[in-house]
Structure formats: C-alpha cells, structure tokens
Amino acid sequence: MTTAKSDTISTRIGKTLAERIISGAIEAGSRLRQDHVAEEFGASHVPVREAFRLLESQGLVVSEPRRGVRVAGFTREEVREVAEMRASLEALALRNAFPHMTKTILDQAEEANRAGDRARDVYAWEEANRNFHRIILTPCGMPRLLKAIDDLQTASARFLFSGWRAEWEAPTDRDHRAILDALRTGQADLAASVLARHVQTVGRKGPK
Amino acid sequence: MTTAKSDTISTRIGKTLAERIISGAIEAGSRLRQDHVAEEFGASHVPVREAFRLLESQGLVVSEPRRGVRVAGFTREEVREVAEMRASLEALALRNAFPHMTKTILDQAEEANRAGDRARDVYAWEEANRNFHRIILTPCGMPRLLKAIDDLQTASARFLFSGWRAEWEAPTDRDHRAILDALRTGQADLAASVLARHVQTVGRKGPK
DNA sequence: TGTTTCAAAATTATAGATAATTTCAAGAAT
DNA sequence: ATTCTTGAAATTATCTATAATTTTGAAACA
C-alpha cells in the first residue's frame, strides 16, 4: 500500500521487502542476499543489513550468524501462537481503549467494516480488516502495545495471503458487528472476549 | 551477567549496552554516539549501528532519523503499560505451559524462589525472580511469545533498578508460592490469574 | 555409483573513507 | 537582554574497499 518514503534508505528497503514477504511475492525459506538486494535498490549493503535487522525484529526473517538471512517459515503451531498472542493483546488494548471510545470512532469502525464487505480481493479485505482493528484499539493510547499488535497482525496477514484459507469468509464480519454492538451498549468485557475469540478464528483453518 | 560471546560483534556490543541501560549505568535520555561506542569497543560504526537496531527493537533506545539514538525514558504510564502487557502474556504462556508441567519443573521453580529469598541485593533478586518466571513459562513451547515476554521483563528490570522501589519487598515471593501451590493442585486458571495480578504489582509503586 | 577432498566463487561481516545533516556557539541585529 | 543569523565542529548515513567465512562444484578416490 503506502510505500511511504520514511526518510532513511534502510527503512524504505525494509518496508518494501516486508510487503513482498507478507504478500507472498518472496516465499518462505528463500535466502535474501544483501548484495543482490543492494543492487536492486541502487544502494550498498550497509542499509540493506539494517533493513534485515528491522525485518528480523518483526519476525519476518531469521538470521543465522555468518550465513545470512532467509524468509521465516511458519508452521501450524506458529500460526496458532500468533493468533493467541493477538487475542490476548487485542483484548487488553480494547479494554483500555473502551473508556476513550467515542461515537465518531465507532462510526469510523463501522465504515471500515463496510469497506471490508465491499472488498473484491483478499488484499483489499485484509486492509479494511486491519483498519477496523486499528480504529477500535488505537484509543487505548499504549504505543508499545499497539506496536506489538501491529507486528502480530502483519504475521497474520502473511498466513492469510499464503493461501491457507481460500476464502476469507463472512463470519469474521459478523464478529465485527458483534464487537461494535457491545461497545455501543457499554459492554466492554463482552466486546473484549468476542474480539479475543474472533482473532483466534484466523488461526483456526489449518494448512497443508 | 553472562556476557556470552554471541559470535558477531554487533550482538556483543548490543548485549553490553543493554546491560548498561538496564542496570542504569547509562541513564535515560542520554545520547549514544556511534563513533564513541565504536571506539570504545575497538570496532567501526557498522556493527554499532546494528547493535542500536537491536536495542531499538527491545524498546531500550529510541532512534530519530538523522539525529541518532538516545536511551528510552519511561513515564509512569509506560511502566503500567509494560506491566499490563506482561500480565496478559505471562498468563497466556502459563495456561499453555500447564499441560506440560512436571514435578521436576515445579521443584526447579521452588529452588529459584528460594534463591530469591536468599538474595542480598536487588540485582541478585531480579535474576532469581526472572528465573522463576522463565522456568514456569518455558514449557509452553511458544518461542515468539517467550521472546516477547523476555523483552518486557527486561523493561521491567529497568524500572526496578531505577530506584523507583527502594525495597523489592516480600509480598512478591508470597505470590510465587501461591502460583506454585495452584500449579501443584492442578488449578491452571487460578495460577494464571494470580500470576497476572502478581506481575502488575511491579508497576504499581509510582516514581518521583 | 556414491563419497570425500579441495580450491574457486559467492557471500557475509567489518573497516575505512566520504557526503550530508545537525548541533552549537559566537556575533549581529532588534 | 533577547532573538536571529551564520559558520565551524560534530555526528549521522551512506558508499567503496577489504578480510573472513561459507557455499559450490568438479575431480579424485573408494
């Protein structure tokens, strides 16, 4: 989506590579060679290495000391792990966001939800879905928590795009509505528990 | 503690700097200048920059584009945030560790707890405390989760060492025993909720 | 045919050098 | 006295070069 020129070369390289990994353009297990990447971006390998470190911190690549980095793979177990972490942290964020929730915010979330309904491919749907979650969680005002959730959502998107799920099915959107209803009627705990369960459904459908 | 020679120069630099930040040897807000650090370690700035990135991913420093990195500060709010994240994630880890819990593991935890009682300074106590948590959580077998918890524990240790709490008080150890008792009697949910509340007490006592 | 050895090629990690940006302090202007 | 320039020093970010390590592939051997 927004490639955004985040000043430094290494972050630009990092973001571009992240997109490719998430979308599946670079497949799991493949090696990323710094010279090749550097040449492609018309840069030297120093910023490339830093980009690799960024990707490593997001869990998108794994780095072995003198053997370079390769795109992280993911097993059924890892998918479940990410889903459980998301469930736990998003529920926490939502409970903390609740006191700061306004009608305006809920309306924005509703609109994001509708955008999801209109989505014609999985990429558009994922963007709308992520927006929905971001909108209702951001008011918690906990930057570290939001960053952690964002990284986990990125990982989830990888699984989604990897084709493990051919359909991105309607039930999820129904969950969204249930969450909004709970928030509108002041039931914070209910909203949080629906959200927690909802997030875990992403990890449900198994691969292979 | 264990400086560990993790092969590459950048990780060694990173670990050393991390220890200094955690222990308070380098105070919050101070700038880290790459040339100076490089000179001290007899290296060039390339590995130093990579070390900075590692520290950034752990939340120990903040980096502004062309202005370098400085040691992350922490407000009352951030302390609370980290505590809540820990509570949430450690409870998750414990619930998942529960099915794999053995008597041997519980005995090791008991021993770590006793080591905490014997500790004569806050550093020794923190190490024992961290061991206790690590021992009971590791069996969950969720590497990403454990890494996230580890980073949060590091942040917690910073707050602890920063002198916000003059005493590291007994109540925490009583919580440890309550957790062990619950685990021994098969009450997983009780253990998890005691752990969650326990972790949050670290963030309770205010600064200033 | 399959395995081992060994040297060339590729690749990573670090160092040294350069360009670009920011910081900081001294002096000018209001 | 305070705010605004301005330029030198410090610092960051990047590039080019070098050293060290790993990978690859072909030849020798069993």
Condensed to tens digits (0 to 9), the pLDDT of residues B108-160 reads 999 999 999 888 888 898 999 999 999 999 999 999 999 999 999 999 999 88
Of residues B203 and B33, the one with the higher pLDDT is: B33
**Which residues in B lie closer than 8 A to residue A142 (C-beta atoms)?**
81, 84
Look up residue A60 and give its DSSP letter: S
Look up residue B29 and give its DSSP letter: T
pLDDT tens digit sequence for A138-171:
999 999 999 999 999 999 999 888 876 655 665 5
Helix residue ranges per DSSP H, chain A: 9-23, 34-40, 45-57, 76-97, 103-118, 122-137, 143-161, 171-184, 188-204
Location of structure tokens 């914070």: A188
Q: Cα B200 vs. chain centroid, distance in angstroms?
A: 14
**Which residues in A lie closer than 8 A to residue B53 (C-beta atoms)?**
50, 53-54, 57
Identity of the residue in B59, B65, B85 whose CB atom sits nearest the CB atom of A89:
B85
pLDDT greater than 90 at residue A174: no
Residue B49 near residue B37 (C-beta atoms within 8 A): no
Mean pLDDT of B164-182: 76
Look up residue A98 and give its DSSP letter: G
Residue A178 near residue A194 (C-beta atoms within 8 A): yes
How far is B65 from chain A, CA to nearest CA, in Å? 7
Q: How many CB atoms lie within 10 A of CB B87?
A: 24
**With a 7 Å cutoff on the CB, does A68 touch strand C?**
yes
How far is B114 from chain A, CA to nearest CA, in Å? 31
Identity of the residue in A59, A78, A145 whose CB atom sits nearest the CB atom of B85:
A145
pLDDT given for residue B204 in this prediction: 65
Per-residue confidence at B203, pLDDT binned at 50, 70, 90?
A: low
**Which residues in B lie closer than 8 A to residue A77 (C-beta atoms)?**
141
Q: Which of A22-26, A134-138, B42-46, B116-120 has the lowest mean pLDDT?
A: B116-120
How far is A157 from chain B, CA to nearest CA, in Å? 16
pLDDT given for residue B205 in this prediction: 58
Q: How many CB atoms lie within 10 A of CB B183?
A: 23
Q: How far is the CA of A59 from the C1' of C20 (A)?
A: 32
**Strand ranges, E, within chain B:** 31-32, 61-64, 68-71
Residue A198 near residue A175 (C-beta atoms within 8 A): yes
How far is B47 from chain A, CA to nearest CA, in Å? 10
Q: Are strands A31-32 and A68-71 parallel, antiparallel or unpaired?
A: antiparallel
| Residues A89, B89: C-beta atoms closer than 8 Å | yes
Q: Cα A129 vs. chain centroid, distance in angstroms?
A: 10
Host H or E run for residue A63: strand A61-64
Burial group, residue A102, by CB count within 10 angstroms (0-12, 13-18, 19+): exposed
Burial group, residue B131, by CB count within 10 angstroms (0-12, 13-18, 19+): middle
Mean pLDDT of B47-59: 96
**Which residues in B lie closer than 8 A to residue A143 (C-beta atoms)?**
81
Q: Are strands A31-32 and B68-71 parallel, antiparallel or unpaired?
A: unpaired
pLDDT given for residue A165 in this prediction: 60
pLDDT greater than 90 at residue A115: yes
| Residues B7, A92: C-beta atoms closer than 8 Å | no
Location of structure tokens 């353009």: A25
Mean pLDDT of A10-20: 97
Residue B162 near residue B207 (C-beta atoms within 8 A): yes
pLDDT greater than 60 at residue B4: no
The nearest alpha carbon in chain B to A78 belongs to: B142
Rounded distance, CA B184 to CA B101, Å? 9
pLDDT given for residue B120 in this prediction: 84
pLDDT greater than 50 at residue B25: yes
pLDDT greater than 60 at residue B5: no
Instruction: List the domains of chain A with CATH numbers.
Output: 9-71 (1.10.10.10), 76-204 (1.20.120.530)
pLDDT given for residue A1 in this prediction: 47
**Rg (chain A; Cα; Å):** 18
The nearest alpha carbon in chain B to A6 belongs to: B65
Enumerate residues 6+ apart whose C-beta is below 8 A from B162: B24, B28, B74, B207
Nearest Cα neighbor of B27 from B154, B125, B161, B150 is B161
Tell me the count of A-B CB pairs closer than 8 A.
68
pLDDT given for residue A205 in this prediction: 58
Look up residue A164 and give its DSSP letter: S
Q: Which two tokens stand for residue B13?
A: 């630099």
**With a 7 Å cutoff on the CB, does A7 touch strand C?**
no
Amino acid at site A33: R
B-interface mutation test, from A84, A92, A98, most B Cβ less than 10 A away: A84
Mean pLDDT of B68-89: 95
